[in-house]
Structure 1
Amino acid sequence: MTAASAARPLALVTGATSGIGAAIAEELASTHDLVVVGRNEPALAAWASRDGVTALRLDLSDPEGFAVAIAPLGIERLDVLVHAAAIATGRAVGSASVQDWREHLVVDLIAPAELTRLLLPAVTAAQGDIVFIGSGAGTRPVPGSAVYAAAKHGLRGLADSLRIEVEPDRVRVVTVAPGQTDTPLLRSGVEASGGTPEPERYIRPESVARAVRFVVDQGPDTQITDVAVRPRQELVRL
């Protein structure tokens, strides 16, 4: 059974085996017990070897299976829920297939919604925080990324609607929307489009993690609802 210790709150982070999710989990590990969710078996094993950490392999393309997968954790109170997992494939409207739309919307939007639904009683019990890792594409899409941008627009709408719904329960909901961040996901996307990654111009995942830390460390009288994390020098301006 996973539960926060008497001294340490509990956080669950999806996408915690790579990129931004891994950096957020590492940032929170200093103050929280963790449930790390991902697909990379070696990375999950490394997390599982650490004190106060439970590793969970979860297929985000199968939201119908979430209830069975998380039930053994026995989570009754959850102080922080971070949705960092995502897929991103460059697809314009004219080239996107139904399968492209389905894959992105399930992983990037439906999966966070369903996991939130299942864990909401535990977050409510803790008067906790729900953090959605959005994207600059959620407000400023670029050409050729219609499918990903639509999913991230939807995620922002989910967060904004949820915030209104849970406000009476003192649950805080935030969208942290980073621009181009130096992750395997971004690098593979740049290379797939024929470009060359420019890591020196990208945001570091640890910087996004510090933004999440800022959000969850707010006092009981406030909530930060939207945080845009942009590169120091913009790569794309629209």
Structure 2
Amino acid sequence: MATHLITGAGSGIGSAVSQRLLDRGDTLWLLARNAGRAKELAERFPGARTVVGDLSEPARLSWALEKQEQPETLDSLLHIGGVAELSPVAESTPALWNASLAANLVAPAELTRLLLPQLRQSRGHVVFVNSGAGLRANPEWGAYAASKHGLKALADSLRAEETSAGVRVTSVYPGRTATPMQEKIHRYEGRSYDPEQWLAPADVAHTVVCALDLPRGAEVTDLQVRPKS
């Protein structure tokens, strides 16, 4: 039975991954942005533990974790939570840039730093659920794509630094996925939203779990997942 700490468990891909791991008997620690959200997650995933910490305030994560119980060892840290705010570069304010970078890049870096001792102890696995935007940038996706390109750099650096400790690092790059975030993006783009056109969160979750279950002698570094047209 493995132990996982997961961000973004409240919806979409994070929820699908959490349910899949819980169903097979693994131990879950779910990061929640506040106490109310922690209660919701505990009710949705019976038996899971919760930790309160806001990804939008990465500088406060260390303080928050110090005040709470943490897992003694971690088999995986799954970075799935994040935000997507679209805007042309000409209209993107520092507040928008800072919010995107904080939640999508700085918070995963800080959470990884704080939990590396537990990951090293169990020769664990860090998974970054990135995005197709982490490999290419389209119009009006500048801040989001920049944060996701940075997340790829973080993963690559972490892999090179921690391989001697036995820590594996995987980046997963899903295409558009049928999540509440995707519905919000469609509204911004002024397009009708048909979830059947896009990847199912369960399919991305299957990809993540396959990477986790790979035998110890191998490591998946980068995985792209696209909807079947």
What's the TM-score once normalised by structure 1's chain length?
0.90
Segments of 4+ moved more than 3 angstroms: 39-44, 49-52
Distance in 2, Cα, partners of 1:198 & 1:51: 31
1:225 deviates by: 0.5
1:77-96 CA-to-partner distances (Å, cap 9, x unmatched) read 10010000110011221111
Structure 1 pair 126–150 and aligned structure 2 pair: CA distance change class (3 A) = same
Contact kept, 8 Å, 2:34 with 2:54, in 1: the verdict is no
Quick one: which amino acid aligns to residue 38 of structure 1? A
The letter for the 2-side match of 1:63 is P
In the alignment, structure 1 segments of 5+ residues that lack a partner are 1-7, 234-238
**Structure 1 residue aligned with 2:98:** 102
- 1:81 equivalent in structure 2: 77
Give the equivalent residue in structure 2 for 1:62.
Answer: 57
* Cα-to-partner distance string for 1:207-228 (whole Å, 9 max, x where unaligned): 1100011000011100100010
Question: Structure 1 residue 219 and structure 2 residue 208: aligned?
Answer: no
| 1:9 Cα offset (Å) | 1.8
| C-alpha separation in 2, matches of 1:154 and 1:51 | 34
In the alignment, is the contact (CA less than 8 A) between 1:17 and 1:37 conserved in 2? no
Contact 2:9 / 2:41 at 8 angstroms: preserved in 1? no
- Residue 56 (structure 1) shift: 2.5
Query: Equivalent residue for 2:141?
Result: 145
Q: State yes or no: 1:184 paired with 2:177.
A: no
Q: TM-score, normalised by structure 2?
A: 0.94
Identity rate, percent: 38
| CA apart distance, 1:43 | 5.9
CA RMSD of aligned residues (A): 1.5
Aligned length: 226
Please say if 1:120 is aligned against 2:116. Answer: yes
Q: Give the CA deviation at 1:25.
A: 0.9
- 2-side partners of 1:214 and 1:31: how far apart? 16
SS at match of 2:72: coil
Structure 2 portions without partners, runs of 5+: none
1:37 maps to which of 20, 23, 31: 31
